[in-house]
Amino acid sequence: MNSHYLALSSLITLFFFLTLLPPSYCDAVEYFAECSIPFNCGIIKNIPYPFWGGNRPANCGMQGFELTCRDNEDLIISFEELEFRVLTINQSHYIMTIARLDLWNSPCPPKLVDTTLDFFNFDYHPTDQNLTLFYGCPSGVSGLDGANYFPCSSGGVGAADNTYNYFVTDSFPMMDELFKECQRNIRVPVLETALINESLGLQKVLNQGFDVDYHNSWAISCLGCGVSGGICGSNNYKFACFCRDGEQPLVCSNKRVIRWWKYVVGLVALGLGVLLTCITICCLRSKRSTTSTPFFMKKTKNEHDLEAFVRNYGPLSLNRYKFSDVKKFTNSFKVKLGQGGYGGVYKGELLNGRLVAAKVLNASKGNGDEFINEVASISRTSHVNIVTLLGFCLEGKKRALIYEFMPNGSLEKFIHSDNMETTTMPLGLEKLFQIAIGIARGLEYLHRGCNTRILHFDIKPHNILLDENFSPKIADFGLAKLSPRNESNISMAVARGTIGYIAPEVFNRNFGVVSHKSDVYSYGMMILEMVGGRKNIDVGISNTSEIYFPHWIYKRLELHNDLGFPINMTVEETAMVRKMIVVGLWCIQTNPSDRPSMSKVIEMLEGNIEALQIPPKPFLSSPPRSPVEESSTY
C-alpha cells in the first residue's frame, strides 16, 4: 500500500512540475533556441547581439537595433524617416559602417533631409567628416572648380535649369556666405579616408558610407553570458541571458534541463561520485605526512580573482601572451623606456615586426587593481588620441600590458627647460598648441564618447605619449574609474592622482563632488605647465604646476596683460599662448561647477581669442609636489 501511494504521489508531483512551470521559463528556452540561429544577410554573416531582425525576434536584441534583410542581399537599418544600408559590422570594436539608401544611386534624392541617427544607441565615429551638398545655386561659386560640381537628373530641387549643385566639406572657407542663395542643402557624414582619394568621385564617396559607434554598455554582461553557455537577449528592453534551463539576469548556472527518466542514472552517478570522493580523500590524508603541495603551485585569492576577471570580462580582441613571450619579444627586457610606481616599461618587437611597449607590473605593489583598471577601461576605447592596448600577460603574479610603441616618448621631456638638452628637437608653439587640443579631444572622448564614462584621474605630462608625428595619446589608465554616462558624481574611498595635478575635491570633499570635472582640473594644470615650462617664457619659477604659477600668471593678466612673451613671437603664437593660459585658468577653478566641460575647452581653444573672458582668480591649487615624483608611464 505504501509503495503504491509513493508511486502515485511521485506522478502527481511530476504532473504539477510539468504543467505549472512558469511561462517565462518556457519562453526563455524558446528564445534560447531562436536566438541561437545565425542571422545572415548577403555578405554579412553571423550578425551579433544587440542586432535583431529576420529570423531573430525582438527578444534576441535590444530596442533600436532592428535590421531588415531585403531580397536576402541588402541589410537595412532605419533612423526616423531615413533608411541606411549596413556595409560592415565590426563586432570587436562596436563599429558599424552605413550609407544613406536614398543617396545610393544618386546624390539627388527625391526628398532633401539631413542625416539623423538614433543618438541613444549610436554616435558618429572620429573617422567621419561632414559633407554639405548644396542644390539649386544660382551661379558658379568663386573658388570652386568642376570637381565640386555634381549634376542632377530630371526632377528634384537640383535639376532646375540654370542652377548649379555643389558639395564641400565643413572646413570650406566662408561656406555660409558663398552658398546663402542656394535653394536647399543637406549634410551627409562620409569617411575622411574616402575624401582623401580624389579619384573616387562624389557618388563613390557617398557609397562608402560612414562609421558609427554603437553603444556597448551590455558588452561585459553579454561576454559573461556567452562564456557560461547562454545566449544574449533582452526582456522588457533590459539585458537578459537566455540559458538552456531558463532566463538568468547575467550568466547561466550551467544546469541542464533533463528528462525525468534520467534522474535514476543521475542518482547512480552521484553515488559513485561520493564513493570515489571518499576514497580520494582517504588516499590524500594517508600521504599528507610525506607529500605536500609546493607553495609556488598555490594561487592566492587575488590571483584567482584576476583570472576570473579575464575569463569573464576580458575583451576578446586582445591578445593574451605568456610571460616567456613577453621576455622574448623584449629581448629579456633589454631596452628600458621608463620606470613607474607599478613597474618598468620596456621596448619590444612582435613577430610581425610591430614595435610595442611592454609595461611589466610589479607584483609586490598593489593587488591587481591597476591591471584590472587598464584592461577594463582602455579596451573600451578607440580614438586617435588614446593609446592602444594590444594585449596582456597574466601568469600568477606575473602581469604585463602590451601597448603600441610611441617613438617620441612622453610630453614631459619636451616642455621643461631642464629637459630640452635631451630632446632631439624642441616643440614649436604651434605644435604645442595642437598637442593641447589633441589631449582635450581624447579627454572629451573618455568623458562623452563611450557609453560608459571613463575618468582618468592621472592627467599629467608623463602620461601623454607622442607618436612619430608628435600627435598626443593619453596613456596609463591604472587609476581610471568607470561610471555610467548619466551619473556625474563619483564615490571614492581614497584620493587618487599625482600631487600637483589633483583637483581640490579629490583630496577634500568640502570643495565639491568628484566628477569628470576633476580631470578638467588636471588638464588645466598641465596646459599651464606646457606654457610656463618652456624656455621662451620665463615665469621665474622652476615648478609651474604648484600653487605659485597660477597666481603669478593671473596677476600678470590682471595688471597689464603682460605675460612676459619674447618680442620675436608672432601674433598667431601670442594668441595661442594666451588661449592656453586663459583656458587653463578656467579649468583650475576651485569650484568644479565653474570649470568648463572638455567640449567647451575645445571650443575655447579653437575659437576667437577676443571671445575669451578672464576667469575669476583661483584661490587654491593642489598641494605642492614632493621633489621627486614617480612617473607611472614612460
- Max distance between CA atoms of the chain, in angstroms, equals 112
Q: What whole-number distance in Å separates Cα of residue 129 and Cα of residue 403? A: 28
Identify residue 220 by its one-letter amino acid code. Answer: I
Residue showing cell 602581469: 399
> What burial letters (b/e) apply to 122-161, b meaning 16+ CB within 10 Å?
bbbbbbbbbbbbbbbbeeebeebeeebebebeeebbbeee
Task: Give the whole-angstrom CA distance, residue 39 versus residue 49.
Answer: 10
Cα dist from 407 to 347, 404, 496, whole Å: 10, 10, 28
Residue 360: which of 350, 378, 347 has the closest Cα?
A: 347
Question: Cis omega (within 30 of 0) on the bond before 50?
Answer: yes
Give me the catalytic one of 245, 458, 476, 519: 458
User: Three-state SS for 460?
Assistant: coil
- Residue 359 labelled as part of a binding site: yes
Sign of the CA dihedral running 193, 198, 199, 205? positive
CA-closest candidate to residue 572, choices 412, 434, 387, 395: 434
Per the structure block, which three cell numbers stand in for 528? 599651464
> Parallel, antiparallel, or unpaired for β 464-466 and 472-474?
antiparallel
Question: Of 544, 551, 545, whose CA–CA distance to 522 is shortest?
Answer: 545
Q: How far apart are CA 66 and CA 58, in angstroms?
A: 8
Whether 458 is catalytic is yes
Task: Give, as one character, the DSSP assignment of residue 445.
Answer: I
Phi (first) and psi of residue 434, to 5 degrees: -65, -35
Q: Cα–Cα distance between 115 and 100 in angstroms, integer?
A: 8
End-to-end Cα distance, the chain:
83
Annotated binding site for ATP: 359
Would you name the residues annotated as active-site residues? 458
Annotated binding site: 359
